[in-house]
Structure 1
């Protein structure tokens, strides 16, 4: 197709739709990993939207040691497909070696961004409405607590203010600064 008048909007749509669905699969994977309450309405929503694509994979790929391998494989396949489509839209022939190197980099970046947003939203919700029984809050707490807890052990609340989410956000940003540049050098992102 090549870049052109419709190239940028089409690339935006492909990137956005794939990223949102990969994020849904990633959230399902992470919520299973942290053993969140799957009767929560938000968890049920994630199960319903990811089940049609995960069900066929579950028939051929079993989970292993509590790790949802079908969800992991689905994330990898979807990210590789998204990259291949974006390359085609940009007028570049997809190369297997590039997809093999760039797919993990994109998934790691998405994971770190997901945790950044989740911790920020958690912090804001605790200031606005600290109701721990809110379905969104219970999911956010289950998801982010394993990341925030080590920082709380190092940095206990000061005068009732919990700074551990801020410390976790700073640590994730530093991690992104350390991890992403080498991955970008190995397999640079698409320039559109």
Structure 2
């Protein structure tokens, strides 16, 4: 029985994390005004439409931000946390304190997932800039990381043509992960 619970949790974790990451990617692409007219953008749109489009009927955008994508990612993480708690202890799921634990836990997981997503984007940008700076994917990754790197570039300009801000941003992301 314990093995079956582990298999269910593994599959649920993989599903929820994958789709929550895609929903976050959709949100961050919209925020950074990154183009969706590329294979990655199309992939993200096609795989997230099933959860985002119905939520858009209920949740309006706030200040131009695609809150439906953000809410979809949050709800997936909340469902995952409820499943984990429910499979470990059914009587605990009915507790009011558990609802707060699920709500706050899903928020923290979403913040961590967002930080991890940006670390992956920063590493991808560094790799693309070193090995294939003219790759079509470079435009997408560059636009998505620009809101994070632009303020850092004002403080730390390129040194002899080498941009250290992705390294600084990754270091700052690691610091954020320590506290979250």
Regarding TM over 0.5, the answer is yes
Task: Give the corresponding residue for 2:111.
Answer: 108
Q: CA deviation at 1:9?
A: 3.1
More displaced 10-residue stretch of structure 1: 151-160 or 26-35? 151-160
- SS at the partner of 1:35? coil
Task: Give the corresponding residue for 1:55.
Answer: 53
Task: Give the corresponding residue for 1:167.
Answer: 168
Task: Give the corresponding residue for 1:17.
Answer: 15
TM-score, normalization by structure 2:
0.89
Tell whether the 8 Å contact from 1:15 to 1:86 is kept in structure 2 after alignment: no
- SS at the partner of 1:6? helix
* Cα distance in 2 between the residues matched to 1:123 and 1:89: 41
* Cα distance in 1 between the residues matched to 2:12 and 2:58: 28
Which protein has the bigger helix share?
2
Q: CA deviation at 1:149?
A: 1.6
Q: CA deviation at 1:41?
A: 2.2
Query: CA-atom RMSD, angstroms?
Result: 1.6
Indicate which of 78, 81, 84 corresponds to 1:83: 81
Tell whether the 8 Å contact from 1:122 to 1:137 is kept in structure 2 after alignment: yes
Q: CA deviation at 1:47?
A: 0.9
Q: CA deviation at 1:70?
A: 1.4
Q: CA deviation at 1:115?
A: 0.8
* Cα distance in 2 between the residues matched to 1:13 and 1:47: 22
Tell whether the 8 Å contact from 1:10 to 1:89 is kept in structure 2 after alignment: no
* Cα distance in 1 between the residues matched to 2:6 and 2:26: 30
Tell whether the 8 Å contact from 1:14 to 1:86 is kept in structure 2 after alignment: no
- Higher RCO (Cα < 8 Å, 6 or more apart): 1
TM-score, normalization by structure 1:
0.84
Task: Give the corresponding residue for 2:150.
Answer: 149
Structure 2 spans left out of the alignment, 5+ residues:
none
* Cα distance in 1 between the residues matched to 2:103 and 2:51: 21
1:42-77 Cα distance to aligned partner (Å, 9 max, x none):
112111111111121111222121111211221221
* Cα distance in 1 between the residues matched to 2:115 and 2:163: 21
> How many positions carry a matched residue from both structures?
175
Structure 1 spans left out of the alignment, 5+ residues:
181-192
